Amino acid sequence: MAGSRVIVVGAGPAGVRAAEILAEAGLAPIVINEGSRDGGQIYRRQPDNFSRPPSKLYGTEAAKATALHAAFDGLRRRVDYRPDTLAWNVTPGVLHTVHHGQTQDIPFDALIVCSGATDRLMPVKGWNLSGTYSLGAAQIALKAQAVSIGRRVAFLGTGPLLYLVASQYQAAGAEVAGVFDTSPFALRVKALPKLLARPAVLAKGLALVAKLKRAGIPVETGVTPVEIAGTPDAGVSGLVLRDRAGRVREIACDAVALGYHLRPETQLADLARCDFAFDAESRQWLPTIDADGRSSVPGVYLAGDGARILGADGAEAAGALAALAALRDLGHDVADGRIDALRRDCARMDRFRRGLVEAFPWPAANAAALPDETVVCRCEAITAGELRRVARAMGATEANRAKAFSRVGMGRCQGRYCGQAGAEIIAAAIDTPVESVGRLRGQAPVKPFSLSATPLADQKGTEQGTPA
Amino acid sequence: MHRDPDGSDRVGPDAGPPRHPRFVRLDETGRTPVRFTIDGRAATALEGDTLLVALLSNGAALRRSEFGDGVRAGFCLMGACQDCWVWTSDGGRLRACSTSVADGLSIATEQPEASWPVLA
Ligand SMILES: Cc1cc2nc3c(=O)[nH]c(=O)nc-3n(C[C@H](O)[C@H](O)[C@H](O)COP(=O)(O)OP(=O)(O)OC[C@H]3O[C@@H](n4cnc5c(N)ncnc54)[C@H](O)[C@@H]3O)c2cc1C
Ligand code: FES
């Protein structure tokens, strides 16, 4: 009970709210965070010697950002905060961490994983050219470093973040070449009933688009990406796309921010051996959770964008809810009313999430249509043609046993950025449903790191490379 | 559009001085300057810059892809893609997007004493 060892991974909105509930209950949770500062992605904090005010950094969300930062600052003496620490593996009852090259294994009674999301990426010919960044990267450059990823930036992909980041660039004085959305506008209308689950968020989204248009920035929907143009040595020089009217055009730019909404970071859940299920709406594998964030493994809880892309408010609610579930499972008294209210919040957020998936769908057909010479795996320059050859040579049955996949999951990013498109390419090549080609499993270490001066002196400098 | 006259972005020890920064500073330019070197040449960044921002404010790329498809300049900026590895002159590997630039740092855009084919 009071002596229970609870670990929270992540200090974004979900992790902070989870830690807060645990501290309130008198537990002193360990909070593991890869970054040096709390806030997570959306409320990412800038370095200490930067001076932009919260209103400039977080716009309409400034009050929420400051509240979350203040909440965590207030917790610092009641939680064991471990920044710059990567949780790199989970084995039964033990979280494996590394901090500045020093590893530590921490036993737990409950583990709440709030690992957030990364951009969901659809390759396009030329996306391996320098100057192509993930949409999230474009935002991090601006938020955390006050720089633009280029002189003239085109935003390509789909999802609400596409418009948000473009408008943040415009407001910060960067030149925006345009916002090019693969989703047709009609889908947004169709998704309205679900999007109305959060009218205020919907209104903010509409205001963003209006603001971009007022600023004279081209905003196009229903486009098909053709190619990011440029040369291997100079990088990006333009974006070629087929517009809604079927015309192929090139937009001059020296940087492309590319993103198709988000995908949960589920490696730790995978390593903890949590069950996953295929979510047909978003066409991706998600860890199975109950309404409160319990995974299929007792003692392991999943919350925030790392489980479902509910957005920042949803992450706060889900983090709190998962912590209450953990407390209850550890034998603490938790009032039903608190849980019920948070469940209602999360259900509303989930309805909105499904609206976003409907309005800004993952363009699976684009993967199937990628020209053979397109690099799919940026890490090791594996092309769509190579993947198709491997899948076809193997035959549908074997590829269904997920072997065809291994080629695209072996690079530096461990398949984070090519895995989902790779599955679509393989599935289309052998004419089988995407869920039947399986999925890439999270592998330890979840990210490569170097060991230094560990108690085992002979390990100095040993690489923990990306596993095969 | 900015482009080297010869169309190349210069990385690697023999590539000459880095030109045409890829990144554009929009704000927070009043910070204390930090001096470091890129492939032996002097460069300046600002305190609080990540190494990635420091490098791409001085040139257009970080390294050459070991798979022969051109130069690389990072991709995710959040420690997830590992596209931004560079080296210190004594051979240590750094992930540029999650490392802060520091006075006196000496950066190599090619792995010292390593030959690319080994990795290919
Ligand atoms: C780049 C990016 C930008 C975004 N920008 C916006 C935005 O502007 N507006 C918006 O509404 N939504 C945005 N989102 C969505 C946003 O992430 C969420 O709404 C919200 O931040 C989710 O909160 P979270 O706590 O679930 O995860 P996050 O805020 O992502 O926090 C996760 C935390 O976990 C840590 N972590 C992850 N894995 C490990 C590990 N293995 N070991 C140690 N620590 C770990 C990370 O360092 C991070 O601090 C963005 C997402 C991304 C990926
Ligand atoms: S740019 Fe992706 S890890 Fe540094």
Q: Which atom of ligand 2 is nearest to the CA of B76?
A: 2
What pLDDT sits at residue A200? 94
Q: Which of residues 432-451 of A touch B (CB under 8 A)?
A: 447-448, 450
What pLDDT sits at residue A3? 80
What domain range is A408 assigned to? 365-437
Tokens of A163: 């418009």
Q: Can you give the CATH number for the domain in which B102 is found? A: 3.10.20.440
> pLDDT tens across A183-230, in order?
999 999 999 999 999 999 999 999 999 999 999 999 999 999 999 999
Residue A78's identity, in one-letter code, is: R
d(CA B62, CA B111) in angstroms, rounded, equals 12
Q: Which atom of ligand 2 is nearest to the CA of B75?
A: 1
Domain boundary at A323, A356, A389, which?
A356
* Beta strand residue intervals within A395-454, DSSP E: 449-450
A407: in domain: yes
> pLDDT tens across B14-41, in order?
444 345 899 999 999 999 999 999 999 9
What pLDDT sits at residue A449? 81
Secondary structure (DSSP) of A154-214: EEEEESHHHHHHHHHHHHTT-EEEEEEESS-HHHHHHTHHHHTTSHHHHHHHHHHHHHHHH
What pLDDT sits at residue A459? 35
A254 plus A168 within the same structural domain: yes
What pLDDT sits at residue A412? 84
What domain range is B83 assigned to? 35-108
Residue A385's identity, in one-letter code, is: G
- Give the residue on A whose Cα is nearest the Cα of B81: A413
Tell if the CB–CB gap between A233 and B80 is shorter than 8 Å.
no
pLDDT beyond 50 at A321: yes
> pLDDT tens across A239-267, in order?
999 999 999 999 999 999 999 999 999 99
At residue A388, φ and ψ (nearest 5 deg) are: -65, -45
Give the range among A46-55, A56-65, A188-197, B15-24 with minimum mean pLDDT: B15-24
A332: in domain: yes
Between the CA of B56 and the centroid of ligand 1 the distance, in Å, is 24
Chain B contact set for A174 (CB, 8 A) = 24, 26
pLDDT beyond 50 at A442: yes
Q: Can you give the CATH number for the domain in which A10 is found? A: 3.50.50.60
A255 plus A153 within the same structural domain: yes
What pLDDT sits at residue A63? 96
Tell if the CB–CB gap between A140 and B48 is shorter than 8 Å.
no
B62: in domain: yes
Q: Which atom of ligand 1 is nearest to the CA of A140?
A: 1
> What domain count does chain B have?
1
> pLDDT tens across A145-155, in order?
999 999 999 99
Chain A contact set for B25 (CB, 8 A) = 146-147
Between the CA of A104 and the centroid of ligand 2 the distance, in Å, is 24
What pLDDT sits at residue A50? 96
pLDDT beyond 50 at B2: no
d(CA A248, CA A101) in angstroms, rounded, equals 50
A80 or A418, which is more confident?
Answer: A80
- Give the residue on A whose Cα is nearest the Cα of B82: A412
Residue A339's identity, in one-letter code, is: I
pLDDT beyond 80 at A418: yes
pTM above 0.95, yes or no: no
Between CA B86 and CA A431, with CA A443 as vertex, the angle to 5 degrees is: 105
What pLDDT sits at residue B11? 54
A114 plus A129 within the same structural domain: no
Q: Which of residues 40-99 of A touch B (CB under 8 A)?
A: 41, 46-52, 56
B119: in domain: no
Tell if the CB–CB gap between A412 and B81 is shorter than 8 Å.
yes
B11: in domain: no
> pLDDT tens across A175-185, in order?
999 999 999 99
Nearest beta carbon to residue A233 from set B24, B53, B70: B70
What pLDDT sits at residue A398? 64
Question: Ligand 1 pocket test: which of A8, A145, A305 has the largest number of ligand atoms within 8 Å of its C-beta?
Answer: A305
A321 or A419, which is more confident?
Answer: A321
Hunting for tokens 């990013």 — which residue is that?
A413
Tokens of A155: 């935003």
> pLDDT tens across B38-76, in order?
999 999 999 999 999 999 999 999 998 888 889 999 999
Q: Which atom of ligand 2 is nearest to the CA of B95?
A: 4
B2 or A333, which is more confident?
Answer: A333
- Residue to substitute from B75, B82, B118, interface A, most A β-carbons within 10 A: B75
A26 plus A106 within the same structural domain: yes
- Give the residue on B whose Cα is nearest the Cα of A231: B70
What pLDDT sits at residue A454? 45
